[in-house]
Amino acid sequence: MKYAKTLTDFILEEERNFKEATGSFSLLMLYIEQAAKVIASHVGRSGLVDIIGASGYKNQSNDDVQKLDIFANTALTESIRASKQAGLIASEEMESALITNEKNAKYAVFFDPLDGSSNIDVNISIGTIFSIYRMNERALQKGIKQIAAGYIIYGPSIMFVYTCENKVHGFTYDPSIGSFLLSHENIRTPEKGNIYSINEAYYNTFPQYIQKYVQYAKKTDMKLRYVGSMVSDVHRTLLKGGVFMYPQDTRSPDGKLRLMYEVNPMALIMQNAGGMAVCESSSPLLIQPTHLHERQPLLIGSTQNVKDILSFI
């Protein structure tokens, strides 16, 4: 039987490659992995809520179930706190950042606990996104300072994808043993793909260069795919190539996606897989965030496809 490396093995092995490693980062990652499993198990039973009722769901403290995105937020926050490695925790579901009492903690963690949560009711893939920085006097650092970022996709199979040290790896959950197994080592996104992904219903509100690109795409052999769940759309783009777009438009001049929880972690993953991400014309990773819940437009995917869009500016 072939030995399959688990995410836990992998994280610990990576740690051994760093002479100065103290184990602190690995510990944080292992607690995030644990929270991902708890969230996955709840997401997997979300359709049963009307049948078995709220009492079918208990969290670790035995409280009754909350809305799934609030549950995911609590599960991640509690798990990251329990690791004692984070000095700052912030999420799309929290009004302000949580400063923990861990004085020597080295890391700051930002996350979107359940992205695309409007898709839960109709059994469409959703995800969790996280982003890790070193603690700094400045709570909001540029995306380029992320030391790791990742997402968990709750789809037909559950995957944990993360980037650290310029590499992107994917792990698929095996429920029979309760572990994520290395299934996609060193993911490289294709240089060019034939799928574009955008909510075309907003076409009339898009900036002109996006409208021109969409018109151009329709004249090529490109296909349109849009799940409306960013983790799913970006995951497909990462593996198959192409481009995902959530531009600014006249309804939302800054776009919809949040810089700290959605745009920056995905941009780092895509960049480290050899792809490209831009806000309008430059990398979101270079933006100095001005507030926690800041939004930014995003074009992300295969380098050639992103460049094609920029050529219409």
- Enumerate the active-site residues: 63, 69, 92-93, 112, 114-115, 262
Tell me if 308 contacts Mg ion by CB under 5 A: no
299 binds, among Mg ion, ligand AHM, none (CB under 5 to 8 A by kind): none
Q: Of 41 and 119, which has the nearer Cβ to Mg ion? A: 119
Min. distance of Cβ 80 from Mg ion in angstroms? 18
Q: Which residue is nearest to ligand AHM (CB)?
A: 230
Distance from C-alpha of 188 to C-alpha of 78, rounded to nearest angstrom? 33
Which residues make up the interface to ligand AHM (CB under 6 A)? 92, 112, 115-117, 199, 228-230, 233, 246, 256
Q: Considering the complex, what minimum distance in angstroms separates the CB of residue 30 from ligand AHM? A: 26
249 binding partner (options Mg ion, ligand AHM, none; Cβ < 5 to 8 Å by kind): none
Pick out residues in 184-223 that bind Mg ion (CB under 5 A): none
For residue 114, the minimal CB distance to ligand AHM (Å) is 7
115 vs 233, which CB is nearer to Mg ion? Answer: 115
| 48 φ/ψ sector (left φ>0, alpha ψ -120 to 50, else beta) | alpha
Strand partners, 181: 6, 172
- Which residue's Cβ lies closest to Mg ion? 115
Cα 76 to chain centroid, rounded: 14
Distance, CA of 188 to CA of 273 (rounded, Å): 5
Show the 3-state SS of 209-220: HHHHHHHHHHCC
> What is the β-pairing status of strands 86-91 and 243-246?
unpaired
Stretch that binds Mg ion, among 63-71, 106-114, 165-173, 186-194 (CB under 5 A): 106-114
Closer residue to ligand AHM, CB minimum distance, 109 or 164: 109
Q: What does each C-alpha distance from 243 to 39, 113, 150 come to in angstroms? A: 28, 24, 19
Do 247 and 199 meet the contact criterion of CB atoms below 8 Å apart? Answer: no
Instruction: Output the DSSP codes for 125-161.
Output: -EEEEEEEEE--SSSS--GGG-SEEEEEEESSSEEEE
CB of 263 to Mg ion, least distance (A): 10
Q: Using CB under 5 A, list all residues that contact Mg ion.
A: 112, 115
